[in-house]
Amino acid sequence: MPSSRGLKQRISRALLLQAGAIAIAAVVGVYFAGVVLKDVLITQALRQEAEFFWERLAADPAFPLPDTRNLTGFMAGRDHMRQPNETMSAMQPGFHDLPGSIDFGTVYVTENDGTRLYLVFDGEQVDVLAAYFGLVPLTVVLLVLYLSVWLIYRASQRAVSPITRLAREVNNLDPEAPDPELFKQPRSLTNADEEVRVLSAALAQFAERLNAFVERERNFTRDASHELRSPLTVIRLASDTLLSQHDLPAESHETAERIKRSVIEMEELVQAFLLLARESEAGLYKKDVCVNDVVGEELQRACVLAADRPIDVENVADCLLYTVASDKALSILFGNLIRNAFSYTDAGRIAAHISRDSVVIEDSGVGMEPDQVRTLLKPFHRADPTRDGGFGVGLTIVMRLSDRFGWPVQIDSKPGAGTRVTVRFPEARYVETN
């Protein structure tokens, strides 16, 4: 459905408003022209007619009163002249409306040496002339104006149509496989303006560059998946082999443990980056995932980070929480939050609380100032760089996953009191366990 705020609609509304304004201005102009004709021109003509009659009457006492189709003269005080009726006789010098006149009528009364002249103007012909010389030109003018507006509308449609087509093609453009040929259709651009041709060429070039970018992104994702995961897998297996040796010195055993923890974190980090590198979610398999299982697995995997630290781990669930999502995305989200809690807790408690629409990861670690929380959202920034583990991108990944999948995240932290992270799932469903 076309938008009511489209370019074509705006031009159409502007032209219609212009045509309406012109019509109103023309009608008002004709109306005021009629008023001027009746109230100014006729009044002035009657004054001049009266002056002319008095001048001629002074020179020739037998000069006849005006008697035409529109103007009739009456004179009181001279018996041989046409006498006014009682209504006119009561009129004082000046202009008066003609009583009982259906059309426009005016009586102009003047007095000279005790004799009064009554000039009666019948406006019937004036109305006809006003209609003839007013409405007919008005109709012609409006027809010409409306024809010009229609021609302008047609021209604007032809000018805007290529832009509309290009906008539609851009809107339907598949970012995974943009087709530059959509913007290289000579038939639709035959009568297009030069600016439209330049825009079309720029869009075609953009589509070609986007194609190349998508191809590079796919190659990077494929290569990174193999080239990064393979050596990490080798390192992890080698660390497992070292840890399986019973005669390994304590110092070497601790070093191997650190290597294994770092490899696990790197594997999770690579997986997160590869997931976020995808522009669309086409490559993600979604299913009905039990959030409780994901949180439980990540807690178990992260317990190795606690080493010998006195940390109590709790996993409390009010219900079974389910959401349709990628289990990989959920694992990365909670894995980063839980590892972050272990990294900044030397002793105390780490708890996961699952409710009907959210999961809360809470620790009793060092905590942070509000400014530090905001700073942690920047990539590769750590609250305490001296601490072991972490690459400074955990919360950044969490927030990017939150924005992408619509899982709002709230972080509350106080220095010395720990950190509380709440992840909400607006479209989740729950099953009571009691």
Concatenate the DSSP letters of all residues of 348-384 into one string.
Answer: EEEEEEE-SSEEEEEE-S----HHHHHHHTSTT--S-
User: What is residue 322's three-state secondary structure?
Assistant: strand
Q: Residue 86 above 90 pLDDT?
A: no
Say which amino acid occupies 330. L
The 10s digit of each residue's pLDDT in 178-206 is 766 666 655 555 556 666 677 777 777 77
Lowest-confidence region among 4-8, 39-43, 366-370, 411-415: 4-8
How far apart are alpha carbons 284 and 324 in whole angstroms? 12
The pLDDT of residue 148: 79
User: Across residues 262-285, what is the average pLDDT?
Assistant: 65
User: Across residues 70-83, what is the average pLDDT?
Assistant: 83
For 385, the token pair is 């760089």
The pLDDT of residue 102: 46
More confident of the two residues 51 and 138: 51
Give the pLDDT band of residue 285 (cuts 50, 70, 90).
Answer: low
User: Across residues 281-287, what is the average pLDDT?
Assistant: 60
The pLDDT of residue 291: 93
Q: Residue 355 above 90 pLDDT?
A: yes
Say which amino acid occupies 320. L
User: Across residues 48-57, what is the average pLDDT?
Assistant: 90
User: Across residues 224-253, what is the average pLDDT?
Assistant: 80
User: What is residue 306's three-state secondary structure?
Assistant: helix
Q: What percent of the chain has pLDDT over 70?
A: 72
More confident of the two residues 33 and 329: 329
Q: Do domains 176-283 and 284-432 have the same CATH topology?
A: no
The 10s digit of each residue's pLDDT in 150-175 is 787 777 767 667 777 777 777 777 66
Lowest-confidence region among 106-110, 276-280, 382-386: 382-386
Q: Residue 297 above 80 pLDDT?
A: yes
How far apart are alpha carbons 410 and 358 in whole angstroms? 11
The pLDDT of residue 191: 59
How far apart are alpha carbons 428 and 322 in whole angstroms? 6
More confident of the two residues 186 and 324: 324
User: What is residue 364's three-state secondary structure?
Assistant: coil
At the top level of CATH, the class of 284-432 is alpha beta
DSSP per position, 201-215:
HHHHHHHHHHHHHHH
State the residue for tokens 């780490």: 350
User: Across residues 397-414, what is the average pLDDT?
Assistant: 86
The pLDDT of residue 360: 95
Residue 165, CA atoms < 13 Å, CB-side half-sphere? 19
Domain 176-283 has CATH 1.10.340: no
Give the pLDDT band of residue 2 (cuts 50, 70, 90).
Answer: very low
Lowest-confidence region among 9-18, 274-283, 368-377: 274-283
Strands (E), 291-347: 311-317, 319-325
More confident of the two residues 390 and 233: 233
Mean pLDDT (the chain, rounded): 77
The pLDDT of residue 98: 73
Q: Do residues 109 and 94 lie in contact, with contact meaning Cβ atoms separated by under 8 Å? A: yes
The distance in angstroms from the start CA to the end CA of the chain is 50
Give the pLDDT band of residue 225 (cuts 50, 70, 90).
Answer: low
Q: Where are the domains of the chain?
A: 7-142, 176-283, 284-432
How far apart are alpha carbons 356 and 321 in whole angstroms? 6
Q: Residue 50 above 80 pLDDT?
A: yes
Cα angle 394-399-405, degrees, rounded to a multiple of 5: 125
Q: Residue 392 above 60 pLDDT?
A: no
